[in-house]
Structures are given as structure tokens and as C-alpha cells.
Copies of this chain bind each other. A is one copy, B any other.
């Protein structure tokens, strides 16, 4: 399970291995950085190359990306949205299932409490993965929280999107999607 906390300056990437008993093991954690002094098209290419390298090395089955909201009215939101698009694009081009989760979903999944603060989430991530320290920087810990969230919400066994579904699963997911319209 690959979790991605999208960002243009720092894009958190975390890979965890989650067993059927919900126990989890840290596989990889890091941050892909791009230089704010570079043109946007080269920054996005740097982020894309970093994400592809993680997928090449760790071959995750699913990619979970934090959902970005437009109500944060800051310039950086657009860069974050662009980085999230890149992460989802790469998943799509590799034929990997992808999913997005809101920060509230991630907090609730990891701490049991949707309004938990960032520090609580990071402490729980370290505890769940039996790490001596909180992964740094924060974007890296957030990426791990996303991966754990997705695995625990059933994403590991039954993702509702993506190319990893069996034909029967896909037919079921399509029927569900139509019913929701």
C-alpha cells in the first residue's frame, strides 16, 4: 500500500505492508522534493519521477492519495492539487488501483477520532508501525497514515476503483456507482 501526501515542495510517500490481521509493517518512507526556484513543469516532472521510482522499487498494489479541497484559499492549494493529479495519473498509467481519502477519514482511521491533531496522528503512526521515532518530515508521516487508512478501510482487499478488480468486482463497483447517481 502506497500512501501519498501530495505537495509540490514536499510530497510525502509511505509504503506499508498490512496483514489480514491489520498489523502493519513499514516498508519505505520518504519525501520527494522539488525546487521552488524551478519552473512548474520541471517541478511536476521531478515529483512524477520520484513517485515512479518508489513504485518501481516497492511495487505497491494500491495508491492512496490525500484528497485536496479548494476551500483552503491559498496559492499552494493549486500546486497540491496538481501534485495529487500527478500521483493519480501515475497510478492510472501503471494500472494500479487508486483512492483518495480526506484528512478527516485518515485521522479517524488511524486514531479513532476524526478531529485528532497532526501530532496525535503521527504518534499513532509510529506506534502502529513500532517505530522508535515519528517519521520526519510531517509529510512523510502523513503519507504513512494515508496508506494505513486505506488498508484498514478495506482498500487492500476490495478497492472500489482501478484495474486490480476482477471482472465480477468491477461489475459490482459499476452497478454501485450507477445506483449512487
Q: Which residues of B contact A41 (CB under 8 A)?
A: 63, 88-89, 91-92, 96-98, 161-162
In the complex, which of the residues B40, B69, B70, B89 contacts A86, with contact meaning CB atoms closer than 8 Å?
A: B89
Q: A interface, how many residues as a size bin? A: 35 or more
- List of 6 A-B pairs having minimum Cβ-Cβ separation, nearest first: A82-B85, A41-B92, A81-B81, A39-B161, A45-B92, A41-B98
Q: Which residues of B contact A69 (CB under 8 A)?
A: 78
* A89 and B48 form a contact (CB under 8 A): yes
Complex CA distance for A43 and B93, rounded to whole angstroms: 10
With an 8 A cutoff between CB atoms, is A83 at the interface?
yes
Q: Which residues of B contact A96 (CB under 8 A)?
A: 41
* B45 and A89 form a contact (CB under 8 A): yes
Would you give 24 A-B contacts (Cβ < 8 Å), ordered by A? Answer: A37-B174, A39-B98, A39-B161, A40-B98, A41-B88, A41-B91, A41-B96, A41-B97, A41-B98, A44-B89, A45-B89, A45-B92, A45-B93, A48-B89, A48-B93, A69-B78, A70-B73, A78-B81, A81-B81, A81-B85, A82-B84, A83-B85, A85-B85, A89-B89
